[in-house]
Amino acid sequence: MNSLIFLDECGSTNDYIREHLAELPDGAAVTARLQTAGRGRRGHTWSANDGMLPLSILFKNPIERDTLTARAGLAVCEALESVCILPEVSIKWPNDVIIAQKKVCGILCECSIMGDTACVICGIGVNVSQNEEFFRENNLPNGGSLLTITGTAPEREVLFRAIAERVKQRVETPFADCLGDFKARVLNIGRTVRIIGENRERTAVAVDIAPNGFLVCEDENGRFEVGSGEVSVRGENGYL
Ligand code: BTN
């Protein structure tokens, strides 16, 4: 395994990697006991206490950058299952990890260029041991932790190592070889979804995942594909 870095506290593990890009090797993974200024997708903040496991992994010139987030989401599902006894672990496209209808993990991949090296910083936040009160107080009705769902929380270091290793394996694997496993976990397929873009919202049925990782949807005008950068996908009547 490449270098694993354990910090006591940091603003954001993604920022830590960005600030140390030159000296960190490909595959370096960092975690912190406490992350004080975590960021989520689409400009959101990522609330945390020390019950959340933040980690980021650095990839230098990874293959198929556009599907890296999807492959990381799949890897997190597999790593969680290798460490905990869980009910079904699904993906809300493109990469929220859902267990028992609750979001247990979010992923934020960010790109950074260093000379002629294209770097991807894959940031993963796993809700490990927050209690119900944490989600209530932070107004996160769709969030849950491994503790709230299963009654027990795994060791953070064991989880960190398992996730870092599995994500690295999946990121080295072409998406074509991950597609079947990814598709099998995507809970949106077969459901009506609201596709919320900058200036427009449309409702359609999600029917498939395309070979490029896009969500294939169908409405009265036919089939179309949606990329994760452009939109947020919600269920017909709420988050799922
Ligand atoms: C989401 O919006 O669902 C993505 C959340 C990603 C949070 C993780 S925690 C570790 C890494 N550092 C950050 O600042 N964000 C990501």
Omega prior to 94 cis, within 30 of 0: yes
Q: Which of 124, 127, 160 to mutate to test the pocket of ligand 1 (most atoms within 8 A of CB)?
A: 124
**CA of residue 143 to ligand 1 center, whole Å:** 14
- Please write the tens of the pLDDT for every residue from 97-128: 999 999 999 999 999 999 999 999 999 999 99
CB-defined site of ligand 1, < 6 Å: 12-14, 35, 38-41, 44, 46, 54-56, 96, 106-108, 123-125
DSSP designation for 42: G
Q: Which of 5, 7, 14 to mutate to test the pocket of ligand 1 (most atoms within 8 A of CB)?
A: 14
Q: Which of 16, 36, 39, 126 to mutate to test the pocket of ligand 1 (most atoms within 8 A of CB)?
A: 39
Q: What is the pLDDT of residue 230?
A: 64
DSSP designation for 128: -
Tens digits of pLDDT across the chain (240 residues)? 569 999 999 999 999 999 999 999 999 999 999 999 999 988 889 988 999 999 999 999 999 999 999 999 999 999 999 999 999 999 999 889 999 999 999 999 999 999 999 999 999 999 999 999 999 999 999 999 999 999 999 999 999 999 999 999 999 999 999 999 999 999 999 999 999 888 889 999 999 999 999 999 999 999 999 998 767 888 887 888
Q: What is the pLDDT of residue 205?
A: 95
**CA of residue 123 to ligand 1 center, whole Å:** 5
**CA of residue 13 to ligand 1 center, whole Å:** 8
Q: What is the pLDDT of residue 187?
A: 96
Q: Pairing mode, if any, of strands 117-127 and 52-60?
A: antiparallel
- Judged by DSSP in three states, 101 sits in coil
Closest Cα partner for 228 from 95, 98, 44?
A: 95
pTM for this structure?
A: 0.95
Q: What is the pLDDT of residue 139?
A: 94
CB of 236 within 8 A of CB of 221? no
**CA of residue 56 to ligand 1 center, whole Å:** 9
C-alpha distances (whole Å) from 34 to each of 53, 214, 239 are: 8, 34, 27
C-alpha distances (whole Å) from 103 to each of 150, 190, 227 are: 14, 20, 21
**CA of residue 41 to ligand 1 center, whole Å:** 7
Nearest CA to ligand 1 atom 2: 40
Q: What is the pLDDT of residue 2?
A: 65
Q: What is the pLDDT of residue 200?
A: 87
**CA of residue 176 to ligand 1 center, whole Å:** 26
